[in-house]
A and B are shown apart, each in its own frame.
Chain A
Amino acid sequence: MNAEATNPKMTARGVSVYYGAKQAVKDVSIDVSKEHVTAFIGPSGCGKSTFLRAFNRMNDTIPGARVEGAIALDGEDIHSSGMDVVQLRARVGMVFQKPNPFPKSIYENVAYGPRIHGLAAGKADLDAIVEKSLRRAGLWDEVKDRLKESGTALSGGQQQRLCIARAIAVDPEVILMDEPASALDPIATAKIEELIHELRGRYAIVIVTHNMQQAARVSQKTAFFHLGELVEYGETSEIFTNPKVPRTKDYITGRYG
């Protein structure tokens, strides 16, 4: 099925993802816009994370994984020869399910991306980028006095916000979040959700979650996946109050999943 937004940042057309012979995502077309937070929901194994990883070609790193169909960033095919995968991943950042800071200092975690892409004009500039990114990730006040300490010494929720700061630091256009709060406690989860609200509009955000309340809280658009198919895509309020497809309704009301 098709689901088109008015001002798409990224578009997927007829995307299928295979792991060897197994098809994990089946012919999905979707638009992601910058104005909205888009949530992918669905039961475990429905292909939502796999589909998300197709947006910055992280599936390339999995042996045997194959992506078919077209995905475009600002109208440009991300699989075309003109698109450099390293640059794509800088423009389309990612936050993973389990917080995965580098075993380096907090400062180095955030500075790493700008450094490898040559984004900072000097030490002072790099300092400014690090501070701005940590501020945007809502972590600056907690870590400003211990930037030299290891990122892995932070609490789980702080680590995840550090990972968000690290993604922000390279000034991406899109941020993909793969169940970013599933390993966190409720308070840390609330902070991440608050953060997503604040980042909305500045970046196109796509979040995968198996927590329906979370999707309802943070997103404006929701896509429901089941068995690798995109079942329904629309306004979050519509999906949760007035789903058009019976399968969506059954999932929302907890009949399966």
Chain B
Amino acid sequence: MTERIPTDWAGAAMQRRIRKRYAAERRFRLMGLLAVLLSAGFLAFLLITIGIKGLPGLTGTFLAGSDATDPELAGIWGAFKGSLLTVGVTLAIAFPVGVLTAVYLEEYAPRNRWTDVIEVSINNLAAVPSIIFGLLGLAVFLNFMHLPRSAPLVGGITLALMTMPVIVIAGRNAVKSVPPSIRDAALGVGASRIQVVFHHVLPLALPGILTGTIIGMARALGETAPLLMIGMRAFIASPPGGITDPATVLPVQIFLWSDEVSHGFVEKTSAAIIVLLAFLLAMNGVAIYLRNKFERRW
């Protein structure tokens, strides 16, 4: 075996390698920056154009009123209240059912073919296009169960079906990420299974569950197609008084106004988009606040 020549760290070949490495770093940084600018640019463009068109429309009459044929009188309060009621119904159904499903599947259900089938079904359900849920709502809740048409009750239930799989998936992951040593510790001092779940597993999984829930709720809030199917596109001139009154929601209102021929509705559409975005941001803010608050506990 011949003696190896000692590495020449200062040699030309080595210098070339170093230069190539630095060039690769620069190229990557540039590409990353461009990617960020591209997505941020679109967002800025959207916010600016909407802001220019919509901000003048954010008047007192607009914020307090309901839909009208005259753009000067049309307001967003009716649709906003409709959204609140609808999302409220969705949350009231999807959260408890979703969390119970997640806990049951993770902590109680035996691992067998049936639970595998259920798991795959739930994962698929999360990917089903929302229009399908709309058709389901139309067929089951309106035509079969004869619940009131155009009502936040039916809209909320339909969106709950859509949101539930998201909560279940997020909830299962959150429950799964609670370390088994905590379960052992609780079982070891004689906690029953339900005590293990409610005293230890759920509190520790809550931040993750809440994150999933808010993501699902934000999606439900922005959903349009399934609500069109169950008649929440009607012209509603007064805000709904309860969950069984006819109502519309923010994204549907935006969709309806964007279809209007009258020029005055262009401003109203943009103003409504601002209201919807503000609503979404507020919801995300609450989610982040809740998550941090619960996370501090451990």
Interface residue ranges of B284-298 to A (CB < 8 Å): 297-298
Known: A96-B188, A100-B179. 17 other contacts (CB 8 A): A56-B188, A58-B188, A61-B183, A87-B190, A89-B190, A90-B190, A93-B189, A94-B184, A96-B181, A96-B184, A104-B298, A112-B191, A112-B199, A116-B190, A167-B189, A169-B189, A170-B189
* 20 A-B residue pairs with CB within 8 Å: A58-B187, A61-B184, A63-B110, A63-B111, A86-B190, A86-B191, A86-B192, A93-B188, A96-B185, A96-B188, A100-B185, A112-B186, A112-B191, A113-B189, A116-B199, A150-B298, A152-B298, A166-B185, A166-B189, A167-B189
Q: Mark A134-176, 1 if CB is under 8 A from B, else 0.
A: 0000000000000000101000000000010011011000000
A63 contact set on B, CB distance < 8 A: 110-111
Chain B residue at minimal CB-CB distance from A97:
B181
Question: Interface size of B by Cβ–Cβ distance < 8 Å?
Answer: 21
A18 contact set on B, CB distance < 8 A: none
Interface residue ranges of A52-90 to B (CB < 8 Å): 56, 58, 61, 63, 86-90
Distance between Cα atoms of A189 and B183 in the complex (Å)? 25
B110 contact set on A, CB distance < 8 A: 63
Distance between Cα atoms of A116 and B110 in the complex (Å)? 26
The answer to whether B195 has its CB under 8 Å from any CB of chain A is yes
Are A61's CB and B187's CB within 8 A? yes
The answer to whether B200 has its CB under 8 Å from any CB of chain A is yes
Q: Given that A116-B195, A150-B298 are contacting pairs, would A100 and B189 also be in contact in the complex, using a CB cutoff of 8 Å?
A: no
Question: Interface size of A by Cβ–Cβ distance < 8 Å?
Answer: 30
The answer to whether B68 has its CB under 8 Å from any CB of chain A is no
The answer to whether B182 has its CB under 8 Å from any CB of chain A is yes
A89 contact set on B, CB distance < 8 A: 187-190
Are B191's CB and A100's CB within 8 A? no
The answer to whether B205 has its CB under 8 Å from any CB of chain A is no
Chain B residue at minimal CB-CB distance from A96:
B184
The answer to whether A19 has its CB under 8 Å from any CB of chain B is no
Distance between Cα atoms of A52 and B189 in the complex (Å)? 16
The answer to whether A103 has its CB under 8 Å from any CB of chain B is yes
A170 contact set on B, CB distance < 8 A: 189-190
The answer to whether B230 has its CB under 8 Å from any CB of chain A is no
Distance between Cα atoms of A117 and B200 in the complex (Å)? 16
The answer to whether A251 has its CB under 8 Å from any CB of chain B is no
Distance between Cα atoms of A102 and B110 in the complex (Å)? 26
Distance between Cα atoms of A167 and B181 in the complex (Å)? 15
The answer to whether B204 has its CB under 8 Å from any CB of chain A is yes
The answer to whether A210 has its CB under 8 Å from any CB of chain B is no
Q: Given that A86-B192, A89-B189, A117-B190 are contacting pairs, would A58 and B298 also be in contact in the complex, using a CB cutoff of 8 Å?
A: no
Within 8 Å by CB of B188, from A94, A98, A116, A117, lies: A94
The answer to whether A101 has its CB under 8 Å from any CB of chain B is yes
Distance between Cα atoms of A88 and B192 in the complex (Å)? 11
Chain A residue at minimal CB-CB distance from B188:
A94
B191 contact set on A, CB distance < 8 A: 86, 112, 116
Distance between Cα atoms of A166 and B298 in the complex (Å)? 18
Chain A residue at minimal CB-CB distance from B184:
A96
Distance between Cα atoms of A170 and B187 in the complex (Å)? 13
Distance between Cα atoms of A51 and B190 in the complex (Å)? 19
Distance between Cα atoms of A174 and B188 in the complex (Å)? 12
Q: Given that A63-B111, A150-B298 are contacting pairs, would A100 and B190 also be in contact in the complex, using a CB cutoff of 8 Å?
A: no
By Cβ-Cβ distance, the 3 closest A-B pairs, closest first, are A103-B298, A90-B190, A113-B189
Distance between Cα atoms of A104 and B186 in the complex (Å)? 12
B186 contact set on A, CB distance < 8 A: 102, 112
